[in-house]
Amino acid sequence: MDNLFNIFSTREIALFIWLSFFLIFVCRTKDGRQSIIEIIKTFFAKELILPYCSILLYMLLIVFLLSRIGLWEISLLKDTCIWVLFSGIILFMNTNKAENINYFSKIVKDNIKVVAIWEFVFNFYTLSLIWELVLIPVIFLFSSMQVFAEHSSKKNNEHEKVVTFCKTILGLIGLGAICYVTYKTVTEYELLLSFANLKSFLLPIFLTILTLPYFYGLALYLNYDRFITIVKHLHRNDTSSISRGIIKASFKYANINLSTLKRIWKYQVHFNSSKDTPDEYIKKAARKPKYIISNVTKLKIFNDIQKVIEKLSNIGIGELSEWHKSYTGDDCYLSTTKYYQFGSDDITKIPNILAFYLTGEESYIKQLDVVLDVGFQQNKHETLEKFTEVLRLAFKNLSILMPDDLPESIHTNKEYSKQYDSHSISLTYEKLERIENYTLSIITQ
């Protein structure tokens, strides 16, 4: 038992005990056992064996290099395994979410932030096994209650009281932990400030940074693989030279740049062989937009396209796409969000949809449209409140005055228009068979 405590902390032992109890509880029933078997089969699918082997070999290479320069020793084997099983696996499973290099740089920043220091200190100073066994299920219980209550509070405001209560309890536990850690750090600082602990602290940061080239390469491989499959499918009825030309040009202009590949992926669907060759079209599609601050419009902020896109992307209904030329035949530039869906998700109800649409010329924005579709049988009052809230945020973020009488027109389904020296504001309303459409437009002069 003493050897066990020398290898694992009381917190790790407590986690292992509770996890064992959970697995035993799940395995009591046939359905539970079957679910675990299916998870194992999915986790060790044939398609994943090669990636698993590749990351294992890459990790062995990193460990070898770190050991050669004196930053890894056998006592760090447990920490290395824990990093692989948790951080490494999570990174591996989320590689397909990578859109550009910023995704990976954010991972590095998250590991270097002060939070990483606190996590190290909190894990270094643990309680007795009995207290750890008590504390872990309490934290799990209140954390789970908070998550479920936050989700259900969207439909029932009374559940917000549960959210507040859970946050209070977790806050008190966190405050107690901070006080305990501060006390232990002050009274036993000599245990914390050792070279062995420094290596233990730096290990996950080193592992994260050194594995980034692998995960970036994996993301690039997965995206190229899917991209090639999609191109071949889209152009299956064309001559084979079309799909080969698009793929070859994509390798040429995207190369190892993931964000450029994503940009090509988005726009290659509009390729028209009667207008361009694959090489010419992909070259234009790969080109990063140039955000030039102009002085064309009277509404000054509409001259700064990048600033408008950034401010509207932070409102909470999705990020706007890059400013790009329309591929539908219209001679204009545009940027849009994906459809943001909200409201009751009952099977008989059509979801509400919100979206931003920016249109204009290469160097400036002409018009912003905020579009709302109220779904069939949705709570219309709550939907319009959400629409009004989004509009307030949009006007505020763009430093444009929102008319005081606009919310009333929204709630009474009345069309609205107002003219200013620099811009005009209009609201249109249309009732269709199963949806109601509201469009708020800001048009610069």
State pLDDT tens for residues 159-174: 677 778 888 887 887 7
Q: Of the ranges 75-79, 223-227, 380-384, which one carries the lowest mean pLDDT score?
A: 75-79
Both 144 and 248 in one domain: the answer is no
pLDDT of residue 111: 63
pLDDT of residue 193: 65
pLDDT band at 179 (very low <50, low <70, confident <90, very high): confident
Question: Residue 424 pLDDT > 80, yes or no?
Answer: yes
Question: Any idea what DSSP says for residue 88?
Answer: I
Q: Which residue has the tokens 């991209």?
A: 227
* In-domain check, residue 412: yes
* In-domain check, residue 222: no
pLDDT of residue 4: 46
pLDDT band at 345 (very low <50, low <70, confident <90, very high): low
User: Mean pLDDT, the chain, as a whole number?
Assistant: 82
Last residue in a domain, options 159, 184, 214? 214
Both 275 and 304 in one domain: the answer is no
| Terminal alpha carbon distance of the chain | 78
Mean pLDDT of all residues in 283-297: 85
* In-domain check, residue 29: yes
Mean pLDDT of all residues in 387-416: 93
pLDDT of residue 158: 67
Both 276 and 421 in one domain: the answer is no
pLDDT tens-place string over residues 187-220: 776 666 666 667 777 787 888 888 888 888 888 8
Both 149 and 240 in one domain: the answer is no
Both 115 and 30 in one domain: the answer is yes
Report the number of distinct structural domains present in the chain: 3
Domain of residue 345: give its range: 300-444
This prediction has a pTM of 0.68
Both 195 and 71 in one domain: the answer is yes
Both 346 and 260 in one domain: the answer is no
Mean pLDDT of all residues in 238-267: 86
CA distance readout (Å), 363 to 290, 303, 305, 395, 408: 8, 7, 7, 21, 35
Last residue in a domain, options 227, 255, 286? 286
Q: How far apart are CA 327 and CA 263, in angstroms?
A: 13
* In-domain check, residue 394: yes
> In sequence order, what are the residues at sequence separation of 6 or more whose Cβ sits closer than 8 angstroms to the Cβ of residue 133?
14, 17, 18
* In-domain check, residue 254: yes
Q: How far apart are CA 295 and CA 310, in angstroms?
A: 19
pLDDT band at 113 (very low <50, low <70, confident <90, very high): low
Both 245 and 192 in one domain: the answer is no
CA atoms within 13 A on the CB side of 74: 0
Both 395 and 423 in one domain: the answer is yes
Following DSSP, what letter does each residue of 28-85 receive, concatenated? TSHHHHHHHHHHHHHHT-HHHHHHHHHHHHHHHHHHHHHHHTTS--GGGHHHHHHHII
For residue 119 the two structure tokens come to 């996590």
Q: Of the ranges 107-116, 209-218, 294-303, 344-353, which one carries the lowest mean pLDDT score?
A: 107-116
Both 152 and 17 in one domain: the answer is yes
Question: Residue 419 pLDDT > 90, yes or no?
Answer: yes
Count Cβ neighbours within 10 Å for each residue of 79-96 and write b for 16 or more, e otherwise: bbebbbeebbeebbeebe
* In-domain check, residue 427: yes
* In-domain check, residue 183: yes
* In-domain check, residue 293: no
Both 57 and 160 in one domain: the answer is yes
Question: Any idea what DSSP says for residue 350?
Answer: P
Q: How far apart are CA 347 and CA 341, in angstroms?
A: 14
For residue 89 the two structure tokens come to 């696996």
Both 335 and 248 in one domain: the answer is no
Task: Kindly report the backbone phi and psi dihedral angles of residue 17, in degrees, each rounded to the nearest multiple of 5, phi listed first.
Answer: -65, -50
Helices (H), ranges, 273-353 = 278-286, 305-313
